[in-house]
Structure 1
Amino acid sequence: MVDTSMATKGHTGPLVYLSRLSKFLTMITSWAGALVLLINVLVVFLSVIWRYMLHSPIEWAEEVARAMMIALVFFGVATSTGRGGHIGVDLFLRFIPEQIRPYIVHASRWVLFLVAVGLVISSYDLGQASWLQTTETGLPQVIYVIPVIIGSVVMMVAALEHALRERAKVVLVSGAGIVVLALLGYLKLSMMPDPSSAAAGFMLICFVLGIFAGVPIAFTLGMSAMVFFICDPSLPFVFFSQQVISGVDHFVLLAIPFFLLAGAAMEINGMSTRLVELVVRGMGRFRGGLNMTTVLSMAFFSGISGSKLADVAAVGGVLMPAVRRANQNSEEAAGVFAASAVISETIPPCVNLIVLGFVANISIGALFLAGLIPAACLLVLMLIAANRFGGKINIREAYPKMRPLLQLWIGAIVGLAMIFMIGRGVMMGIATSTEISAFAVVYAIVVGRLAFGELTFRATVKMFVDTAAMSGVLLFIVACATSLSYVLTIQMIPQEIAQFLVGIGVKQGAWVFLMLTIVLLIVFGAVLEGAPALIIFAPILVPIATQLGFNPLHFGIVMILAMGFGLFSPPIGLGLYTTCAICGVEMKNVIPPMIKYLAVSLFGIIVVAMVPTISTWLPRLAGY
């Protein structure tokens, strides 16, 4: 993986002051992001209390929550940029000669800086345009733009500081390469009678170069969209920031940081360690007991954290020490982690279920229900594979010091109660997924604190700061993907793809279309990660699938599973890289033992695709 950060190397001169400024601004945005996240939880939580108990809804609550959502995204991504938290895939860099590889890697830092500069300029123009405008409830429209300007400025300073951290030769040569490419593009445009006709081509070139150079995916998407707006004179540049903001200006997306926060609270409370130990002690006596524990733990925590990578981090950080103490194969354990993450794709409240419901206009509650039985089928298959391919362990070696069983059962009951609350609330339509996620946060913090007493004030503050930064990274991907999706739409590219795929479906059959969709999404799921791939492809593919006779719930679940399979598949999947990093193993050693588990996952996905009832029976039973 390519990390955009680098250890400070004896800063001298102006770079010292730039570094201090970057650290100071990053500290400000980290605290601001944590505060915004806390206020947002309270606003949404109290608005539900007011509506149900006092029968008096807070009219301004949703608008304020949306404005703070935008602030959370840009403060969070600025904090992550300052910390060097954006990661790209270095798969293609391995084919570049070692002599020039450092210059290509460093060029990605300049891309971060240029995207941040573009956002500063565009958002400043947007701020001026919206200065005198108001929202529906009379709030100033500029409250949506000011956090973008602040976050983009901090991101620009941090990106510049990271870009200047290398040797002077690398900094200058990589920067000169970016300038030369920009000049060549400008000369090409200046010689064309209609520069706007080349905008799409330049956008595609930037996207491909960004992927091959290991530029973090959010900035690859942002750079591609930004270049299009620069090259097309018929579109004002203010559209760039406007579309980025519109990508996260949605109340429903607040469920993502809220579920992440609830999952973090449960992990810090010690519930994850208690649950995993309980499962190990229960399953360890069977053949493949440790692998089966991994599968069950991943399924359980997917219903708490909402994020696949957060699941891997939570379970891997707890279980890998036990794997090593029990003298088990670390590479096979990492492979089981990655393959098991695929089954957690459709277990509520997975982030991608929320994103899909948002972009494809599908009920999120119905998607939560539709994903349960497919996940259960994949879970059973993975448990069989784990039992078949695994060996027995000595539980005493894995856990030399065991907790009392009562503590372990309390941890499991607290977590299960939260999952039940989430599922029941969605199924009964008591509240929206965002409102339920706010209740999950309050439950995780209050009940977890009372039950375990491990969530101290200091740990709580750090949890809010870290979750705000993580949320910024995830949702900035959504924001930039939305901007690129807008560009693709005005270029009529989705319509052309739709016509092509409808033709295939009509001539070759709907099931051929479905199989091609699975292959397409596995490939793009590995390259783009789940959220951007969904934002780009779901609005195109879901209506086509519906037109060809597929239930949108069934088709949506198949989409999410296929993209999850790509995310954790070698050799490109970003999720597999992350899993290997968390487990402390090399990917080349993980692939051989992992193949059999991936084959089982793929078989399960095909079964779910070919039997629509697996996805549609439970939502239909609930009245969707």
Structure 2
Amino acid sequence: MHAGHGASATPAPWPALTRLCKVIEYFCAAILAADVVVVFVSVILRYFLHSPVDWAEEVARNLMATLVFLGGATVLARRQHVGIEVFRGMLPASWREPAIQLGGWTVAGVSAALLYSSVLLLEDSVNVTTPIGTPQWVSVLPVCVGALFMTVAGIANAISGAKRATWATLAAAIVLCLAVWGWNTFAPEALAIQPWLLLTVAFLASLVMGIPIAFVLALSSLVYFLAEPSLPMIIYSQQVMAGMDHFVLLAIPFFVLAGLIMEANGMSSRLIELLVRMFGRVRGSMNLISILATAFFSGVSGSKLADIAAVGGIVVPAVRRTKQDANETAAVLAASAVMAETIPPCVNLIIMGFVANISIGGLFLAGLVPAAVLAAGLCAMAVAFGRKIDPRLAFPQRMALPKLLGGALIALVMVGMIGKGVTSGIATSTEVSAFAVVYALLAGGIAFRELTPRAIVGLFVRAASMAGGILFIIAAASSVAFALTVQQLPTFLSGTMTTLAHDYGSVAFVLVSALLMVIFGAILEGAPALIIFGPLLTPIAQQVGVNPLHFGTVVVIAMGLGLFAPPFGLGLFATCAMTGTRVEQVARPMIKYLVLLAIMLVVLIFVPAISLWLPRMFNMA
């Protein structure tokens, strides 16, 4: 995994751009704070004062659009977009620098195309108003501004390398584009390169170049729009906007923010030290604690990478102090992240429920027992392959037990509030996530007293950047999903998978679907795989008699298995980066955990009752 095309978390190459980036980041943090206030106040007005406001949801969505496109631009400027370098690393050494430069120009070109399309959309929306009477252009303007900043950042990143390679790759890119355009314009229609083929080639080529996943997806759909005469360019930005213009997706930045706040106030260190006190003398205790802590924090933040950062940042130093193998612990953390994919309020469960039209509350319930089963299996293996340690070495300076218990109790209250709010139907996942943010701030300010105003601002900035990166991937993936729909892939896939189900049974259908998600979870980041295949496969699953809650749980776990599997899984690269380990050294100890997870996934597929037991208890299945 890498933070952009060829660099990791490096500042923008132009000083002025760096300063502008910082200003926009603080602006995005303010937008996120405003969004939390809007949703929180609207919930108070609706449920407690019985005075609902009609404008709250639209205002919240417009604020989110600003956060996504401006936040996504700052992530690009700092080269922190999620991408994969494995394929580029397989190229001959002399090709890698040109591939990086060509990738930079590609990102700049895609951003410029989005800017052009969004300007067309802005002109078209000048005289249009929304249902509550606000001008439509207000929601389009952030796309234009964000795309403009992305274009500038893309150019700045592209020209920051060796000058000869920079201009040679720009010339090569222009020649290639002109050659494809000329061939499709002047060649006989029968010999023209088909849009679907251009989409496929663009997708594969950009993966090899190591382009960030969001721009791999945006480029793939862009070349399809350019090659398909029935699609005007204005629809390109419309589809990118449509991918994130949904109130339910606000739960993602809110849960990420709530998790960051709870982790920053010292709760993670308190919890892990408490677990060490409880299980420290058990065989394999540090790996066992990694599993339990990851499961616990997954019920707070919803973001697997945030959980790994919180747990790994405390567990791995303790592992090294006790002379344990850090590579084994990194493997356990990655496997635990797969296990935790279905622990509410997991971001991928929210995305799956949104794109496949499945009850998010139902998915939250359906994921709990499978996660417990996977956790039990991982704990058994951690104990079997572990050895005993002296727990006093893990935390030489000990905290008073009441403080440790208090930290765990406050977090448990938050987890219970999230679960009760969503599953009871009292509030939506977005509304519950806004309450979680407010609760986390109050807990940090009153109970722990470890969050200063400066630290809170920093957390909002960090959460806005993380959310901008995640949601921009979702926006780009929706444009690919639209292109695949125009290409009638859903019809083809429906026919093929339905035939498979009728010939070999519904279990075979779920097994093949899970295999697809493992493969594409490894190639893509998790969200795009779910966005593209979730709405295609779920209706077929229902047609052949598979419960959508069971199916949703299975594909999310399968996606996680691919996401953290070597050699391509982006999640594994992130885990190694956060724990200071190397992928090739972590891959070997991780194989046994992956085999165990795969076997248990097959068990979940064959025994739907594991997923459906809780939802049926609450009459949600």
Deviation sequence 1:504-563 (CA, Å, 0-9, x none)? 111122222221111111000111121111111011111111111110100110000000
Equivalent position of 1:164 in the other structure: 159
Assess if the C-alpha contact under 8 Å between 2:5 and 2:100 holds in 1: no
Equivalent position of 2:37 in the other structure: 42
Equivalent position of 2:595 in the other structure: 599
Of residues 441, 446, 458, the one that matches 1:445 is 441
Assess if the C-alpha contact under 8 Å between 2:104 and 2:154 holds in 1: yes
- Does residue 17 of structure 2 align to residue 4 of structure 1? no
Equivalent position of 1:457 in the other structure: 453
Of residues 328, 333, 339, the one that matches 2:329 is 333
C-alpha deviation, 1:193, in angstroms: 4.6
Assess if the C-alpha contact under 8 Å between 2:76 and 2:153 holds in 1: yes
Assess if the C-alpha contact under 8 Å between 1:6 and 1:162 holds in 2: no
Amino acid at match of 1:250: H
Equivalent position of 1:372 in the other structure: 368
Assess if the C-alpha contact under 8 Å between 2:255 and 2:301 holds in 1: yes
Assess if the C-alpha contact under 8 Å between 1:256 and 1:471 holds in 2: yes
- Does residue 604 of structure 2 align to residue 615 of structure 1? no
Of residues 67, 73, 76, the one that matches 2:68 is 73
C-alpha deviation, 1:603, in angstroms: 1.6
Equivalent position of 1:507 in the other structure: 503
- Does residue 432 of structure 2 align to residue 403 of structure 1? no
Assess if the C-alpha contact under 8 Å between 2:506 and 2:544 holds in 1: yes
Equivalent position of 1:324 in the other structure: 320
1: distance between equivalents of 2:584 and 2:340? 24
Amino acid at match of 1:23: T
2: distance between equivalents of 1:124 and 1:163? 24
Amino acid at match of 2:4: T
**Greater alpha carbon shift after TM alignment, 517-526 vs 179-188:** 179-188
Of residues 272, 288, 293, the one that matches 2:289 is 293
2: distance between equivalents of 1:487 and 1:61? 32
C-alpha deviation, 1:173, in angstroms: 2.3
- Does residue 248 of structure 2 align to residue 248 of structure 1? no
The number of residue pairs the alignment matches comes to 617
- Does residue 440 of structure 2 align to residue 432 of structure 1? no
Equivalent position of 2:534 in the other structure: 538
| Structure-to-structure mapping, 1:348-367, within 5 angstroms | 348-367=344-363
2: distance between equivalents of 1:325 and 1:172? 50
2: distance between equivalents of 1:603 and 1:287? 24
C-alpha deviation, 1:228, in angstroms: 1.1
Amino acid at match of 2:376: V
Amino acid at match of 1:268: A
- Does residue 493 of structure 2 align to residue 516 of structure 1? no
1: distance between equivalents of 2:275 and 2:52? 43
Of residues 94, 105, 109, the one that matches 1:110 is 105
C-alpha deviation, 1:191, in angstroms: 2.6
Equivalent position of 2:131 in the other structure: 136
Assess if the C-alpha contact under 8 Å between 1:29 and 1:151 holds in 2: no
Deviation sequence 1:197-255 (CA, Å, 0-9, x none)? 72221111100111122111110000011111112222110111100000000000000
Of residues 166, 169, 186, the one that matches 1:174 is 169
Amino acid at match of 1:615: S
- Does residue 490 of structure 2 align to residue 494 of structure 1? yes
2: distance between equivalents of 1:424 and 1:270? 25
2: distance between equivalents of 1:369 and 1:233? 45
2: distance between equivalents of 1:185 and 1:507? 42
C-alpha deviation, 1:86, in angstroms: 1.3
Could you say what the CA RMSD is over the residues aligned between the two structures, in angstroms? 1.6
| Structure-to-structure mapping, 1:191-270, within 5 angstroms | 191-194=186-189, 198-270=194-266
2: distance between equivalents of 1:342 and 1:2? 20
2: distance between equivalents of 1:176 and 1:300? 52
Equivalent position of 1:146 in the other structure: 141
Amino acid at match of 1:130: S
Deviation sequence 1:479-500 (CA, Å, 0-9, x none)? 0000010010011011101101
Equivalent position of 1:24 in the other structure: 19
1: distance between equivalents of 2:7 and 2:400? 43
1: distance between equivalents of 2:589 and 2:19? 46
Amino acid at match of 2:219: M
TM-score (norm 2): 0.97
C-alpha deviation, 1:95, in angstroms: 2.1
Amino acid at match of 1:79: T
Consecutive unaligned residues of structure 2, counting only runs of 5 or more, are none
Assess if the C-alpha contact under 8 Å between 2:5 and 2:212 holds in 1: no
1: distance between equivalents of 2:445 and 2:614? 35
TM-score (norm 1): 0.97
Deviation sequence 1:137-193 (CA, Å, 0-9, x none)? 111111110111111111111111111111101212222232232122112211345
Assess if the C-alpha contact under 8 Å between 2:6 and 2:100 holds in 1: no
2: distance between equivalents of 1:5 and 1:34? 25
C-alpha deviation, 1:460, in angstroms: 0.6
1: distance between equivalents of 2:281 and 2:302? 30
Amino acid at match of 1:103: P
Assess if the C-alpha contact under 8 Å between 1:44 and 1:61 holds in 2: yes
Equivalent position of 1:383 in the other structure: 379
1: distance between equivalents of 2:99 and 2:3? 13
Equivalent position of 1:127 in the other structure: 122
Of residues 296, 302, 320, the one that matches 2:298 is 302
2: distance between equivalents of 1:408 and 1:387? 24
Assess if the C-alpha contact under 8 Å between 2:327 and 2:586 holds in 1: yes
